[in-house]
């Protein structure tokens, strides 16, 4: 197995899917010769030519183009440079793409992958570039929402998204782009809608996404030295959510902490907790949610003050022990 960074795993998944299926193409701002603003599409233009297409700075336009291409039998992969820029294509994504398969009585399929880059607030990119939008898209029926938390996940889940006949919102985290781990060289696909138990424990269940998974694992190692063993679940797909895996863990531990970087009011965490309450009401002894403050994410170093920390995760866990 190769040691790949998160960014390289994304690049490798794109390369393999472009090679596998000639219907796959990439479109977005600077995805061609520059290789994307964060080099996720580096060198793909040289190898695949016009199947890697630079677009003007017009998200409504090139997302609309992708919808037409998907309906006509293509498999577009759209890159949206910063999460907030997805708002410029909300009519296309929410009012058109999410609804067309239903209102056409399944005559129209939209096998489209929308890659959205989140987490820029960790680099001080400011309030107009730093939102976590996956919670918004989870509330839209008709969209599949994926959050990749490791290089291994990034490759396997992106390949699955591109092969899926549904529109998939694929959220990447910029603060993870340089993280490295072993990634299989062979073709592998991780199923959408299936969570992973990444650490087993008996005291508390922690459900954590993206960078928060990394933070939670570090907190778990610290607590383990005190004899406190927590179970950690990486949901991978937020919609549809693998509530079976989550419920089994919560019924075992009786306590749950849900950690995500969306603001805590009307949040991803609250949506997951509601499903847990439906399935585990009589088994659940205590719960906490950890997320960002209900504020726009400021520029510069202040950005990280709004986002959840390892200390906040540890405090939430300890409060239930």
pLDDT digits (tens, 9 = 90+) for 206-257: 999 999 999 999 999 999 999 999 999 999 999 999 999 999 999 999 999 9
Exposure string for 70-90, b = 16+ CB within 10 A, e = fewer? bbeebbbbbbbbbbbbbebbb
State the pLDDT confidence band at 296, using cuts at 50, 70 and 90.
very high
> Do the two domains 2-183 and 196-318 of this chain adopt the same fold?
yes
Answer for the pair 170, 118: CB distance below 8 angstroms, yes or no.
no
State the pLDDT confidence band at 288, using cuts at 50, 70 and 90.
very high
Catalytic annotation, pick one of 122, 129, 134, 173: 129
State the pLDDT confidence band at 191, using cuts at 50, 70 and 90.
very high
Helix or strand holding residue 283 (H, E): none
Domain ranges of the chain: 2-183, 196-318
CATH number of 196-318: 3.40.50.920
Pick the CATH number of 2-183 from 3.40.50.970, 3.40.50.2300, 3.40.50.720, 3.40.190.10: 3.40.50.970
What's the confidence (pLDDT) of residue 7?
98
Query: Per this entry, what is the length of the chain?
Result: 321
Answer for the pair 57, 84: CB distance below 8 angstroms, yes or no.
no
How much is the mean pLDDT over the chain? 97
Could you tell me the maximum CA-CA distance found in the chain, to the nearest angstrom?
A: 58
Please confirm, yes or no, whether 129 is among the known catalytic residues.
Answer: yes
This prediction has a pTM of 0.97
Pairwise CA distance, residues 282 & 60, whole Å: 46
């Amino acid at each position: 197995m190769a040691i790949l960074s998160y960014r390289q795993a994304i690049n490798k998944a794109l390369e393999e899917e472009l090679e596998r299926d000639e219907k796959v193409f990439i479109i977005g701002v600077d995805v061609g010769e520059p290789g994307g603003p964060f080099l996720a599409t580096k060198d793909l233009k040289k190898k695949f030519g016009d199947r890697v297409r630079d677009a003007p700075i017009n998200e409504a336009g090139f997302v609309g183009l992708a919808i037409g291409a998907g309906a006509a039998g293509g498999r577009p992969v759209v890159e949206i440079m910063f999460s907030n820029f997805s708002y410029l294509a909300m009519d296309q994504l929410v009012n058109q793409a999410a609804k067309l398969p239903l209102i056409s009585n399944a005559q129209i399929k939209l096998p489209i992958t929308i890659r959205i880059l989140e987490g820029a607030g960790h680099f001080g990119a400011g309030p107009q570039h730093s939102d976590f939008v996956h919670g918004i898209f989870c509330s839209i029926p008709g969209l599949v929402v994926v959050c990749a938390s490791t290089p291994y996940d990034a490759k396997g889940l992106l390949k699955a998204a591109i092969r899926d006949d549904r529109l998939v919102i694929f959220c990447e985290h910029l603060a993870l782009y340089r993280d490295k781990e072993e990634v299989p060289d062979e073709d592998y696909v991780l199923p959408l809608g299936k969570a992973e138990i990444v650490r087993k424990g008996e005291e508390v269940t922690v459900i954590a996404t993206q960078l928060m998974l990394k933070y939670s694992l570090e907190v778990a190692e610290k607590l383990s030295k005190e004899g406190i063993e927590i179970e950690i679940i990486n949901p991978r797909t937020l919609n549809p959510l693998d509530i079976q895996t989550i419920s089994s863990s919560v019924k075992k531990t009786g306590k749950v902490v849900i950690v995500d970087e969306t603001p805590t009011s009307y949040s991803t965490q609250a949506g997951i907790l509601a499903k847990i309450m439906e399935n585990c009401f009589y088994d659940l002894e205590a719960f906490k949610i950890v997320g960002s403050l209900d504020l726009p994410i400021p520029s510069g170093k202040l950005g990280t003050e709004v986002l959840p920390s390892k200390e906040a995760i540890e405090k939430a866990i300890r409060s239930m022990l």
